[in-house]
Amino acid sequence: MNKKNIFPFLDENLSIEERVNDLVNRMTLEEKISQMKYNAPAIEHLGIPEYNWWNECLHGVARAGLATQFPQALNLASTFDTDLIFQVAQAISNEARAKYNDFSKAGMTDIYQGLTFWSPNINIFRDPRWGRGHETYGEDPFLTGEMGYYFIKGLQGDDEKYLKLVATPKHFAVHSGPESDRHIFDARVSERDLRETYLPAFKKCIIEARAHSIMCAYNRLFGEPCCGSKKLRKILREEWKFEGYVVSDCWAVEDFYEHHKVCLNAEEAVALSVKMGTDLCCGNCYSKLLDAVKSNLITEEEINVSVKRLFKARFLLGMFDNPDKVPYSKISYSVVNCQKHNDLSFEAALKSIVLLKNDGLLPLNDNYKKIAVIGPNANDIEVLLGNYNGTPLNPVTILEGIKKKVGNKAEVVYEQGCNLVSSLLHFEVIPKECFFTEDGNQGLLAEYFSKKDFEGKPLFTKIDESINFNWWNGSPDNSLNRLDFSVKWSGYIIPKYSGYYQFDLKEQDNLKFYFNNKLVIYKKEQLNNFTVKLEAGNKYKIIVEMPSYKRDNFIQLFWAYDNPNLLEDAIKLAKESDLIILSLGLSPIIEGEEMDVNLPGFYKGDRTNIELPDTQMNLMKALYALKKPIVLVLLTGGAISLEWANENINAILLAGYPGQRGGDAVAEVLWGGFNPSGRLPVTYYKSTNQLPPFKDYNMKGRTYRYLDDIPLYPFGFGLSYTKFLYSNLKLSKERIKPDEDLFVLIEVQNIGDLPGDEVVQLYIKDLKSNYEVPKISLKGFKKVHLLPSEKKIIEFKIKPEYLSLIDDENERVIEPGQFEIFVGGVQPGFNDLNPTSNYVSTIFEVVGDLFLID
Give catalytic residues, as residue numbers. Answer: 249, 591
Residue 347 sits at φ, ψ, to 5 deg, of -60, -45
| 756-766 vs 777-786, strand pairing mode | antiparallel
Half-sphere CA count of 138, side-chain side, radius 13 A: 29
Indicate the residue type of 219: N
Alpha carbon 486 to its chain's center: 33
362: region left, alpha or beta (phi > 0 left; psi from -120 to 50 alpha): beta
| 812-814 vs 851-852, strand pairing mode | antiparallel
Buried residues in 383-406 as b, exposed as e (16+ CB within 10 A): bbbbbbbbbbeebbbbbbbbbebb
Alpha carbon 177 to its chain's center: 16
- Cβ 79 vs Cβ 665: under 8 Å: no
- Cβ 81 vs Cβ 24: under 8 Å: no
Residue 181 sits at φ, ψ, to 5 deg, of -110, 5
- CA separation for the pair 478, 483 (Å, rounded): 12
Residue 500 bridge partners (DSSP): 533
Strand order in the sheet with 851-852: 805-806, 812-814, 851-852
- CA separation for the pair 449, 464 (Å, rounded): 15
- CA separation for the pair 299, 837 (Å, rounded): 62
DSSP of 583-648, one letter per residue? EEE--TTTSSSS---EETTEETTEES--BPPHHHHHHHHHHHTTT--EEEEEE-SS--B-HHHHHH
- CA separation for the pair 310, 43 (Å, rounded): 15
Alpha carbon 139 to its chain's center: 15
- Cβ 663 vs Cβ 377: under 8 Å: no
The long-range contacts involving 643-646, CB below 8 angstroms and separated by at least 24 positions, are 643/686, 643/687, 643/712, 644/617, 644/620, 645/357, 645/620, 646/356, 646/357, 646/712
Helix (H, G, I), strand (E, B) or coil at 32: helix
Packing angle of the helix pair 82-105, 339-352 (nearest 10 deg): 150
For the beta carbon of residue 690, count every other beta carbon within 10 angstroms. 18
C-alpha dist (Å) from residue 172 to 137, 139, 175, 241, 304? 15, 16, 7, 15, 23
Q: What is the DSSP letter of 492?
A: E
The closest alpha carbon to 496, from 567, 559, 416, 441, belongs to 559
Indicate the residue type of 794: I
C-alpha dist (Å) from residue 391 to 121, 410, 411, 504, 552? 20, 32, 30, 17, 8
